[in-house]
Amino acid sequence: MIPAAFEYYRPKDMDGVLSILEEHGDDARVMAGGHSLIPMMKLRMADVPHLIDLQDVGGMSDIELTADSIRIGALVTQADIIDHARLAAAAPILREAALQIADPQVRYMGTIGGNVANGDPGNDMPGLMQCLNASFTVVGADGERDIPAREFYEAAYMTAREDEEVLTTVTIPLPKGGYAYEKQKRKIGDYATAAAAVQIVKDGSNCVSASIAMTNLSDTPIYSEDASAALVGTAVDAAALDAAVAAMLEDIDPTEDNRGPIAFKNHVAGVILRRAITRAWSRA
């Protein structure tokens, strides 16, 4: 399995990256960890005549925590996220989700920027970022702009990022309350059959805010506003759980594939969301 030939570049700064992207347009692509892109190139499902390795571009490998937000550089790996104690304390859902991605070898290489920019509905970080209401900073020839995660995904492998833009930073408002990332997969290391990211805030015995996003159940991640709203003002009892699951099922649109038929996916989505809400509530 040998990819088609390409030119390889390893620029030292973002200006270098942007000028190659501008020169070659559609024929150029950036690579971070390469653990989505290289498999696609080997299968010849991705043709990349000009490959730009980001590893030497500085300033994208930091995790910064402030009083109200978290900034994660695009080149931070899943292993970095798992190992960062202060990040795990501030936003434990990130570590819980990262531990459910792939296997140790892949997590050393795979980056948060690559995971959210890729646009594969199977990736776990996009749904998580929608749940957390993150935004992505991208830079291009005309400068920087921020795109909310909830508006970033258009279709499989189609995102609001332009081809000549590079994603540099993921910014997450400091999450509040209980959390859970639940994922059903066929075996360890596999992409999700269904996954749910949930954050819930509790006041007294009632839920005052909730955020729910689902993974690999449509051609984009699904932030379900209605499922989230179904929990607010309730004590997250059986009726509220039923209502949230019913609302989520209205929003997703799974297709049949080697992970199962549509009815099975809907069933698993319900089971996983119930588990995630129950666990997040128990931690709220």
Ligand X SMILES: Cc1cc2nc3c(=O)[nH]c(=O)nc-3n(C[C@H](O)[C@H](O)[C@H](O)COP(=O)(O)OP(=O)(O)OC[C@H]3O[C@@H](n4cnc5c(N)ncnc54)[C@H](O)[C@@H]3O)c2cc1C
Residues within the interface to ligand X (CB under 6 A): 29-37, 39, 74, 101-102, 106, 109-111, 113-115, 117-118, 123-125, 166-167, 189, 191
Residue 65 within binding range of other proteins, rule CB under 8 A: no
- With CB under 5 to 8 Å by kind, the binding choice for 108 among other proteins, ligand X, none is other proteins
**Strands 166-173 vs 158-159: parallel, antiparallel or unpaired:** unpaired
In angstroms, the CA 52 to CA 22 distance is: 12
For ligand X, give the closer residue by CB, 32 or 240: 32
Q: Is 238 in the site for other proteins (CB under 8 A)?
A: no
* 4 interface partner picked from ligand X, other proteins, none, CB below 5 to 8 A per type: other proteins
Residue 201 Cβ vs ligand X, minimum distance, rounded to whole Å: 26
Q: Which of 14, 38, 88, 201 binds other proteins (CB under 8 A)?
A: 38
Q: Smallest distance, Å, CB 115 to ligand X?
A: 4
State in angstroms the smallest separation of the CB of 269 from other proteins: 25
Question: Helix axis angle, 238-251 relative to 262-282, nearest 10°?
Answer: 140
123 binds, options other proteins, ligand X, none, Cβ within 5 to 8 A by partner type = ligand X
Residue 215 binding partner per list other proteins, ligand X, none, with a CB distance cut-off of 5 to 8 Å that depends on partner kind: none
User: Binding residue for other proteins (CB under 8 A) from 42, 44, 86, 186?
Assistant: 42
Minimum distance of other proteins from residue 173's CB (angstroms): 31
Q: Whole-angstrom distance between the N-terminal and C-terminal Cα of the chain? A: 48
Nearest Cα neighbor of 276 from 233, 234, 231 is: 231
Instruction: Tell me if 79 contacts other proteins by CB under 8 A.
Output: yes
Site for other proteins in 6-25 (CB under 8 A): 6-8, 10
CA distance 184 to 214: 12
The strand ranges marked E within 68-191 are 69-73, 135-140, 143-148, 153-155, 158-159, 166-173, 178-184
55: left (phi over 0), alpha (psi -120 to 50) or beta: alpha
Q: How far apart are CA 37 and CA 53, in angstroms?
A: 11
Of 269, 278, 132, 271, residue with least CA distance to 207: 278
How many whole angstroms separate alpha carbon 198 and alpha carbon 196? Answer: 6
By CB under 8 A, name the binding residues for other proteins: 1-8, 10, 34-35, 38-39, 42, 51, 53, 55, 79, 102-106, 108-109, 188-189
